[in-house]
Structure 1
Amino acid sequence: MPITPDPATLAGAAIIDLADLMDGLQERTGEWPGADTVDIVEGWLSRFSFAVTGGLTPQTAGRAWVLRQWDRHRDDVTLWCDEASALASLAQEVRSSWDDVAGTDGVPYRPPADNQGVVDLYYGPANSRGDAGYTLYPADVSRHVPAPLSLNLADAEACAAANSSALFHPMDGPEDEGLPCIEIAGVLVFAYLDADREAVRVSVHLDTTDEQLVRPDGTVPMVVELADTTVFDNLTPPPAPAQPTGWKARLRRLAGRTARGRADRGVDPHTEDTII
């Protein structure tokens, strides 16, 4: 299928210019001489920039614990979501090989129950075993974020792209003063166990919401559901109060007629005082 360049775009206009240059060369020489063609193409290419875009922003998407284990037969690196899980895996392998060190250099014949303790005894101080060792350390998981998307809640593709870019911010450990949080388009949703309230607590913070999602009145369109029940919805105005029916409606009509009759006689319906 032939491609028609669009003269309204910079790239399309440049392609048309190149075609004009080559047509002019053909008219002058009856052919495309190699040297002339190279000069034309070289000058034409100089109009373009092929540098990688600088619009990418590095972003920390999470943290992983890197466990490296080595001995005479292997050198393995694995990733773990937290230190305790990595240490538990390492301790399990150490216990399976405990016979290699049991009874030597003061090492007990039975491994201790504590994971850190059993690892320290197996590898010795500062990983002193020459043929085996390990390292365990945290490392940020980073990614490059492209230029901001054109967010439109009515655009399914834009919403899907934003959803796929959501971030989870875990706590670094029990001593971390932060709370687990998911971030999407600047909206922060915290979900955690609250010992003070003795409850599962969910908190939504909108201060950093992407401005493209903020309505002219400063609010963010939002629906909050608990299981199948909608507990918050600011998309549509609340329904008008239902009009009374039955005996309540008859009493209201009677009260209205009574108030109008007193006003016609010059009596304040609230104070019973004559107003004339």
Structure 2
Amino acid sequence: MLITPNPCTPEGKAIVNLADQMDALQRRAGEWPGADTATIVEQWLRSFSFEPSGDLPQRVTGRVWMLRQWDRHGEDVTLWSDEASARAALAHEVRKSWDNVGGVEEVPFRPPTDDREAVDLYYGPDGCAHEDEGYSLHVADISRIDGERLSISLADPEGSARANSAALFHPIEGPDDEGLPCIEIAGVLVFAYLDAERQAVRIDVHLDTADEQLVRADGTIPIRIEVEDDTVCSIGATAPAPAHACGACEPDLADVPEQSVTTEGLSTGVDHTQEHTII
């Protein structure tokens, strides 16, 4: 199928320009000499940019503390989930080498029990008091490239498995962080945390950001909650195939002891436009 270039677009205008140059060459030389043709095509190609435009579609999925240590023998880089763990590991290494600095100038013979103080005395406040060894510690983002959108169906085991493998965990920065630890899967946010006010382990399920592929025609999302082996909530979930010839039936919400089910947030169903506390 032949393509007609549109001179109103930059691409189409460039193609028309190339055709004009080749026609002019044909009129001058009666043919397309190889050297002249190569020169025209080279200059024409240089008018294009083949660099990708925009940034990669990426998102931050977590943070990590990067500890780098070096001495005259080489360097070592390790990753830690929090600053305290990184400093504890660094302080452990410092105490193993304390004889190198103990008793020198104002450094005590015995290392302090406080990790930060031990590290600062050994390496100095800036981390490089010694010419041939030092350390650096900083936080870095963990990013992921978001590729093509996943095809998700609750009836498709393979699609569900792909969505499960792409789940994200969003930790909090520390005790002073006002957020809550959260698992994100197919846009569904599940918060699990200790609620001191209610003196209970609390689980919140937020469905307002759920992938639209999970939403049924009636605007709801099937949901099932289990604690250990007990079903405490099952709304719209499909019953599994019978396990035995006698036909094992799906546990019904009515069979669950009343005290084990928190109805807060369930009175409105599981409409994905709402936020719900399931347990």
Rounded Cα–Cα distance in structure 1 between residues aligned with 2:171 and 2:191: 10
Structure 2 equivalent of residue 189 of structure 1: 190
> Equivalent residues in 2 for 1:41-190 (5 A)?
57-127=57-127, 128-190=129-191
SS at match of 2:62: strand
Counterpart residue identity of residue 91, structure 1: A
Structure 2 equivalent of residue 254 of structure 1: none
Rounded Cα–Cα distance in structure 1 between residues aligned with 2:140 and 2:214: 33
SS at match of 1:64: strand
Counterpart residue identity of residue 154, structure 1: A
Are the counterparts in 1 of residues 61 and 169 from structure 2 also a CA contact under 8 Å? yes
Q: Aligned Cα RMSD in Å? A: 2.8
Per-residue Cα deviation, 1:160-217 (whole angstroms, up to 9, x for no partner): 1111100000111112111110000000001111222222111111110011111222
Q: Which runs of 5+ in 2 are unaligned?
A: 1-33, 35-40, 239-250, 255-279
Are the counterparts in 1 of residues 224 and 237 from structure 2 also a CA contact under 8 Å? no
> Which has the larger Rg?
1
CA 1:151 to 1:81, structure 2 compared with 1: closer, same or farther past 3 Å? same
SS at match of 1:78: strand
Tell me the CA shift for residue 218 of structure 1. 1.9
**What is the TM-score of this pair, normalised by structure 1?**
0.65
**What is the TM-score of this pair, normalised by structure 2?**
0.65
SS at match of 2:139: strand
Rounded Cα–Cα distance in structure 2 between residues aligned with 1:228 and 1:53: 51
CA 1:140 to 1:55, structure 2 compared with 1: closer, same or farther past 3 Å? closer
Counterpart residue identity of residue 68, structure 2: R
Counterpart residue identity of residue 86, structure 2: A
SS at match of 1:143: strand
Tell me the CA shift for residue 147 of structure 1. 1.8
Are the counterparts in 2 of residues 56 and 146 from structure 1 also a CA contact under 8 Å? no
More helix by share: 1
Structure 2 equivalent of residue 23 of structure 1: none
Are the counterparts in 2 of residues 70 and 134 from structure 1 also a CA contact under 8 Å? yes
Are the counterparts in 2 of residues 213 and 220 from structure 1 also a CA contact under 8 Å? yes
Rounded Cα–Cα distance in structure 1 between residues aligned with 2:131 and 2:175: 34
CA 1:155 to 1:54, structure 2 compared with 1: closer, same or farther past 3 Å? farther
Are the counterparts in 1 of residues 221 and 236 from structure 2 also a CA contact under 8 Å? no
Counterpart residue identity of residue 221, structure 1: P
Identity of aligned residues (%): 60
Moved over 6 A (4+): 50-55
Rounded Cα–Cα distance in structure 2 between residues aligned with 1:125 and 1:212: 53
Are the counterparts in 2 of residues 56 and 147 from structure 1 also a CA contact under 8 Å? no
Per-residue Cα deviation, 1:86-140 (whole angstroms, up to 9, x for no partner): 1110000000000100011200111111111100111113122222111111101
Counterpart residue identity of residue 135, structure 1: S
